[in-house]
């Protein structure tokens, strides 16, 4: 099972909205609503931002939202802030013996 495909980098200006895509297959994102998203600052552990495609854990800003269409999941950050600059990873259940696969990761830069 290969990693889910994400763009290597996405950038946006303060206050803007950006969207990070996460492309899988009909064996994972396409059939299961078990997509989660993680934010990772340098040298830190990842932080759960979205689970089950579009649910936000308690304490996560509502500027973060998730969605899915076909084999692609997306994370949108609205009202971009300096502290949003980080790496972002998606994850999905695969239903195969691989069970869970992460995305390749996206570096978000705030201009």
Partner 1 sequence: QVQLQESGPGLVKPSQTLSLTCTVSGGSISSGAYYWSWIRQHPGKGLKWIGDIYYSGSTYYNPSLKSRITISLDTSKNQFSLKLKSVTAADTAVYYCARFMITFGGGIGSGFDIWGQGTLVTVSS
Residues that bind partner 1 (CB under 8 A): 3, 32, 34, 36, 38, 45-48, 50-52, 57, 89, 91, 93, 97-105
Nearer to partner 1, 14 or 30 (CB): 30
Q: Which two tokens stand for residue 85?
A: 């600059």
Coil, strand or helix: which one is 85? coil
Q: E strands along 1-111, which residues?
A: 9-12, 18-23, 35-40, 47-50, 64-69, 72-77, 86-93, 100-102, 106-110
Full strand arrangement of the beta sheet holding 18-23: 18-23, 72-77, 64-69
Closest approach of partner 1 to the CB of residue 93, in Å: 5
Nearer to partner 1, 42 or 111 (CB): 42
Closest approach of partner 1 to the CB of residue 16, in Å: 25
Nearer to partner 1, 18 or 101 (CB): 101
Coil, strand or helix: which one is 84? helix
Closest approach of partner 1 to the CB of residue 15, in Å: 28
Nearer to partner 1, 13 or 43 (CB): 43
Q: CA 20, CA 10: separation in Å to the nearest integer? A: 7
Closest approach of partner 1 to the CB of residue 102, in Å: 4
């Amino acid at each position: 099972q290969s990693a889910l495909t994400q763009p290597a980098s996405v950038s946006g200006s303060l206050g803007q909205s950006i969207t990070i895509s996460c492309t899988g297959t009909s064996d994972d994102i396409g059939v299961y609503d078990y997509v989660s998203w993680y934010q990772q600052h340098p040298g830190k552990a990842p932080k759960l931002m979205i689970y089950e495609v579009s649910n936000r854990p308690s304490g996560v800003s509502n500027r973060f939202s998730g969605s899915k269409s076909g084999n692609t999941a997306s994370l949108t950050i609205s009202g971009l802030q300096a502290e949003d600059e980080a790496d972002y990873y998606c994850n999905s259940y695969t239903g195969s013996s691989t069970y869970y696969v992460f995305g390749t990761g996206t570096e978000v830069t705030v201009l």
